[in-house]
Structure 1
């Protein structure tokens, strides 16, 4: 799998004009901001939060929808999977304090006492404005512990890709669930680095044993290893740090990163990262709560490139905007400096990013700029869906995690 599918990455395009002043969207487990996936056990809660840079205390609403294993509407009505309301107001609203960029911070726990999710599965959380127009959407998953999933991430066994790719193999033990037709009743998906654009869906078992399904495919579950992400740290808004060349104060802070160099022609070098994600954090003096006191800084990205790419767009790519492609993170070529450039307003914190190339005929290509190496430390997640014969929806009966280990 050399190119990332763009089937879902354009989810936010329909609402991009509505959400241009919405920033720092997070959907993560409550009280666990360093768990970057929006996947929790049924009965636990996720916190949805975001900032509105208009800072005018608008009315926003959340909406919860159950989806199928392949992210299509489930066809169930809301009272079949929600005890209470599937749509409600977001009432936890706080104004920013002591920041150059004013904003209003919104947050809500999902589920909550007004909206209790009763079934496991894939869900879409939408945020609507006061006119009930969709501002943005996010995916999340609520799962049951009905199976044990073990993942093993290996160097690709394919001779043509064993220098660049990784293969994910896994095993599902389901002692409490009796399957009549495992190939029909069980659907398995794999995701790399919590980037839904990388998803491989509907993976069939290679072998079926008593109470065990084995997925030891050689090429079907191959992923490009890509490379470790670039990063920067703006938790001190006024100061430079590793990978930041200078900081200037204007109407907002301006953070200028050192010009990045393409890594595709370099040898692999291990560099610890958080696999494309970001963490909001301010360590500036007198900051007590980063949610409402962290400031925004205009981050200036640049990538050295001798000539502009033909018939191709280049994007800054990362979890900071849900791995989506938008006008804001699209780069423009500067002929004078021979660099691609982009400027993105981001809240203080620690950020991973990389560069994505997209043309009209293929998916998202991360290896053209960053290279692809089998040694890259990537995190993988398996999701196991179960719909018995005659069932009405896809339960998530187990999840599993794995990272590449060079010693395997």
Structure 2
């Protein structure tokens, strides 16, 4: 028989183990349910990548298609470089005030067939102000305090410069298909302590977290400068330009829309897209996955509340991919989510993939994303191919944790566009 003292010890050990696992678990973005749409970070009314300076105003908006003015709450968690919670920090260390507050700003749509309530969360607000740079995950909760969806953001300072150049790949096997990033980290403000261990970088293509590059150490140092001149470790598959549709006039078929049909809400049927992986580079001016909600009706006074929703019917001809890879529709409009709602379905009779998705009207960039059965992006076998001519935005963030410091702070950002690619 187990003695009471041993039971207490075993119970205490189990509690400590569970607490440790909670603090070491990598925080993943949780895609919203069907009724939550058009989740976006905005700055001065424009959708932006989830990167903000510590002094910036951070604004997160989303629509609830139930339109019942439900109560939503938010919590904020500071995370380490690897997106595990910063266990050495308390909430009071990185937040002035409180989180776990109700979102107080919401409005209802009007003059739309699809009703919805639009919620807007802004930081700083009267309850909450962020105090530290770093990775953060914002959780939106319902009235029962269940997680509805989560979004990652990066908050940074400009304490170091990150000169960045996009170059063609050095490997002849992929020279036509990849972008290589050549960059350095420079500062005269302070001296890095043990830079090979204490300095980390994260590299992003078009604001995406699903294909980001982590854990690349400096190749060498020159004084206090950290140099990254790798041939393979800092390369991205270049992809192709984003596709788009434009239904700002939701009743007329223009700009890649084959026809419009009416129902409870409008149906926007797009032309069939052919896989471009064997067709060579295609020049489409794009906005690198972004979107703009807009209704061009002259009587509209509030684009956020009077832009309607439509069923958008996508169709892709890519029989070569059948039963090999999963294909998803992605863009900033859905945060590149790999869920069943955005997964294409194959029709053997027509040899095409198709999907209907409810999307808010306006101008939308989108892409077809090839992924394995675990939802991991397979850039090498992209439906629309990879071409070095493709124009992409690249961002690099520099993380630094001094000896005996309790968290990973973000001390710099580098940015470049492959439109200025060099050999």
TM range (shorter): over 0.9
Distance 2:323 2:35 in 1: 31
Shift of 1:357: 2.3
Unaligned 5+ residue runs, structure 2? 1-24
Report if aligned partners of 2:258, 2:270 keep a CA contact under 8 Å in 1.
yes
Please list, as runs of the form range in 1=range in 2, the aligned pairs for 1:260-339 lying within 5 A after superposition: 260-306=273-319, 309-310=322-323, 312-339=325-352
CA contact (8 A) 2:326 2:373 kept: no
Tell whether the 8 Å contact from 1:9 to 1:197 is kept in structure 2 after alignment: no
Give the whole-Å Cα distance in 2 for the aligned partners of 1:82 and 1:283: 41
TM-superposed deviation, 1:359: 2.7
Answer yes or no: is the 8 Å Cα contact 1:68–1:74 preserved in 2.
yes
- Distance in 1 of aligned mates of 2:297 and 2:29: 35
Alignment check: 8 A CA contact 1:248 1:254 kept: yes
Structure 1 portions without partners, runs of 5+: 1-6
User: Greater CA radius of gyration, 1 or 2?
Assistant: 2
Q: Secondary structure at the match of 2:196?
A: helix
Greater displacement, 246-255 / 206-215: 206-215
Q: Give the distance between the partners of 1:24 and 1:348, measured in 2 at CA.
A: 10
How far, CA to CA, are the matches of 1:218 and 1:341 in structure 2?
38
* Cα deviation, residue 175, structure 1: 1.2
Higher percent of residues as helix: 2
For 1:22, which of 36, 47, 63 is the aligned residue? 36
Distance 1:105 1:8 in 2: 30
Q: CA deviation at 1:285?
A: 2.8
Aligned partners of 2:45 and 2:50: how far apart in 1? 11
Correspondence for 1:379: 393
Q: CA RMSD in A?
A: 1.9
Is 1:122–2:135 an aligned residue pair? yes
Aligned to 1:40: 52
Deviations 1:294-323 (A, max 9, x none): 100100000113467115322112221111
How many residues are matched?
396
1:66 to 75, 78, 88: 78
Partner secondary structure for residue 273 of structure 1: coil
For the residues of structure 1 that align with 2:200 and 2:73, how far apart are their CA atoms?
A: 32
Q: Which of 339, 347, 352 lines up with 2:365 in the alignment?
A: 352
Match of 1:249 in 2: 262
- Residues in 2 aligned to 1:188 and 1:357: alpha-carbon distance in whole angstroms: 26
The range that moved more, 129-138 or 173-182, is 173-182
Aligned partner of 1:240 in structure 2 is: 253
1:80 partner SS: helix
2:355 to 324, 342, 346: 342
2:174 is the counterpart of 1:174: no
**Which region of structure 1 is more displaced relative to structure 2, 37-46 or 382-391?**
37-46
Give the structure-1-normalised TM-score. 0.93
